Amino acid sequence: MITVLALVNPQVDSPVNGEQRIRRFICRFGRGARTAAGAAIGLATVCGVLRSAHAQPAFEFAKPVLYTFDFAMYPPAIAAGDLNNDGFVDLVVSGRNVEGKVLIMLGEGDGVLGRPMELLIDSQTEWVSVRNFDLDGPLDLAVVVRGSEGVVAMFSGVGDGTFTDRTDHAVGRSPSSMAAEDFDGDGAIDLAVTNFGSDDVSILLNDGQGGMNLWQTVALGGPLKGRAWPFYMTASDFDNDLDLDLLVGHFGSSHVSFLRNQGDGAFSAALTIPVLQPVGVAAADMNLDGNIDVVMADLTDFEGRSAVLENHGDAQFSGLTTFDTGGWSWYVATPDLNGDGRPDVALTDVLDDLLILLPNESAGDMALGRAQFIPVAAFPRFILPVDLDGDCDMDLVVASLGAHRLTVLINETPQGSSCPIADLSGDGRVGVSDLLILLADWDAPGGSADFDYNGHVSVSDLLFLLKHWD
């Protein structure tokens, strides 16, 4: 079922005080408990977030479209790709449902998604990734299966939106997230999996035909009673040596872990970096100095904030800048929403059921603008930035774990570039620098130049870039 919500006026944060914090907790109870608790402390029982109006939001979106599943789906993650080669972006949604279903939603153009098709996994799933793992053309699927004995289930794509030939690969206990990238530089997509239950990261290298071999298990330490609780992870070249490193966020621990890639898909021992209490982590060059910084969603004492850990080159991290947002920040993404070449920040607030957007106003220093708040369904767990309607800018899809829903926000923000997603270099225009990046990734399995989401960089992507040449 598809429901169109009324457009809600964007809002900005106001200071969080003790009364507001208590109100948030009251609003997490049922209706009767809200009334009783509110009367007991003399607060109004109308639940909501105390925000002050902001007349000029940084970003503009069409009316949110809400996709409600007809069973208790509990979606924790989403992946995107053109699964049936029709030129439209499709979605795959993982689920913590008892039926063990993953849902496939084929795009129908203009950002519209079709009725979900079911892929039976026979267990709850935590994460999904859509990539061309076996290098045969159609996009394949990797699914993180929850459980005390963790598994990544791999499926071969047929090319019509369906999958076949499941193979399972053992990882650690209770896996929580996954990065699918080429870690050893052989042109095939490998996997890194965070294991919440065993406090480690499993590295699986691709044999070139889609088969995954467990190459390494990297232990993670933590100050919380000896536990690390690894949750989310991001992959990027933090030390500027042309291979992809890993950065892990931890649930309830005041640190992140950095795993340096040695160049052959093997990673160094985890380096613990003290920060706040981040769960969600993302990688982006926030201040445009050529070094990839770490953006975090912080959970400290329910005083929600975003934090940026600056990278000064060669993965030398220091200088933590925080930006208060209120609520309980969980997941973070860094799409360029206005096409100015600077990555903006998108957070989920699982306490107040909000999507929080902060425009990047960095100009050498680290600066984020006033926050914009968009109500979404209960417990927004995941944000997928993707050009869903094919108009060259980044739209947002939010998965709400507690409401069994996806919220689609089509971006209508005026863009600083004619085609931001083709501006690979981030210089505000589509030109020679972007062409060179595309050619360097030619025939690679995915990447930033895979504009049509079909799993590899090819002639169609070159024609797309040339079409939008400034």
Instruction: Tell me the pLDDT of the chain averaged across its residues.
Output: 85
Nearest to 228, CA basis, from 202, 197, 258 = 197
Confidence at residue 44, expressed as pLDDT on a 0 to 100 scale: 33
Distances (CA, A) of 83 to 11, 102, 308, 330, 456: 37, 15, 35, 29, 12
Does pLDDT of 3 surpass 60? no
Residue 391: CB partners within 8 Å, gap ≥ 6?
none
Report angle CA 164, 128, 422 to the nearest 5 degrees. 105
What is the per-residue pLDDT across 355-372, written as a single tens digit (0 to 9) for each?
Answer: 999 999 988 788 999 999
The whole-number average pLDDT for the span 412-421 is: 89
Highest average pLDDT, of 17-21, 101-105, 359-363, 417-421, comes from: 101-105
Does pLDDT of 107 surpass 90? yes
> Which pLDDT band, with edges at 50, 70 and 90, does 48 fall under?
very low
Asked if residues 142 and 178 have their Cβ atoms less than 8 Å apart, the reply is yes
Confidence at residue 28, expressed as pLDDT on a 0 to 100 scale: 43
Residue 55: CB partners within 8 Å, gap ≥ 6?
none
Among 17-21, 143-147, 461-465, which is the least confidently predicted range? 17-21
The whole-number average pLDDT for the span 33-42 is: 37
What is the per-residue pLDDT across 55-101, written as a single tens digit (0 to 9) for each?
Answer: 478 999 999 999 999 999 999 999 999 999 999 999 999 999 999 99
Residue 62: CB partners within 8 Å, gap ≥ 6?
7, 409, 410, 412
Distances (CA, A) of 380 to 89, 220, 377, 425: 22, 27, 6, 31
Among 45-54, 204-213, 318-327, which is the least confidently predicted range? 45-54
Residue 283 tokens, joined? 């990688």
> Which pLDDT band, with edges at 50, 70 and 90, does 380 fall under?
very high
Does pLDDT of 25 surpass 80? no
Taking each helix axis from N to C end, the angle separating 31-41 and 18-26, rounded to the nearest 10 degrees, works out to 150
| H/E segment holding residue 35 | helix 31-41
Beta strands 271-274 and 212-219: pairing type? unpaired
Confidence at residue 55, expressed as pLDDT on a 0 to 100 scale: 46
Confidence at residue 365, expressed as pLDDT on a 0 to 100 scale: 84
Among 29-33, 187-191, 239-243, 278-282, which is the least confidently predicted range? 29-33
The whole-number average pLDDT for the span 25-47 is: 38
Biggest CA-to-CA distance, the chain: 67
Asked if residues 190 and 209 have their Cβ atoms less than 8 Å apart, the reply is no
Residue 391 tokens, joined? 């108009």
Say which amino acid occupies 71.
Answer: F
Q: What is the C-alpha separation between 40 and 23, in angstroms, rounded? A: 12
Confidence at residue 329, expressed as pLDDT on a 0 to 100 scale: 87
Beta strands 125-131 and 345-349: pairing type? unpaired
Does pLDDT of 200 surpass 90? yes
Confidence at residue 426, expressed as pLDDT on a 0 to 100 scale: 79
Q: Residues of the chain with pLDDT > 90: what percent?
A: 65
Q: What is the C-alpha separation between 258 and 309, in angstroms, rounded? A: 12
Residue 287: CB partners within 8 Å, gap ≥ 6?
293, 310, 362, 364, 365, 366
Nearest to 165, CA basis, from 123, 214, 206, 211 = 211
Asked if residues 309 and 316 have their Cβ atoms less than 8 Å apart, the reply is no
Q: What is the C-alpha separation between 281 and 417, in angstroms, rounded? A: 27
Beta strands 65-68 and 405-409: pairing type? antiparallel
What is the per-residue pLDDT across 159-185, written as a single tens digit (0 to 9) for each?
Answer: 999 999 999 999 999 999 999 999 999
Does pLDDT of 23 surpass 90? no
Query: Other C-beta atoms within 10 Å of 326: how many?
Result: 26
CA dihedral for 90, 419, 442, 335, sign (positive or negative): negative
Residue 319: CB partners within 8 Å, gap ≥ 6?
309, 310, 312, 366
Confidence at residue 456, expressed as pLDDT on a 0 to 100 scale: 83
Confidence at residue 439, expressed as pLDDT on a 0 to 100 scale: 92
What are the start-end ranges of the H helices in 346-458? Answer: 432-440
| Global confidence as pTM | 0.88
Q: What is the C-alpha separation between 253 and 223, in angstroms, rounded? A: 7
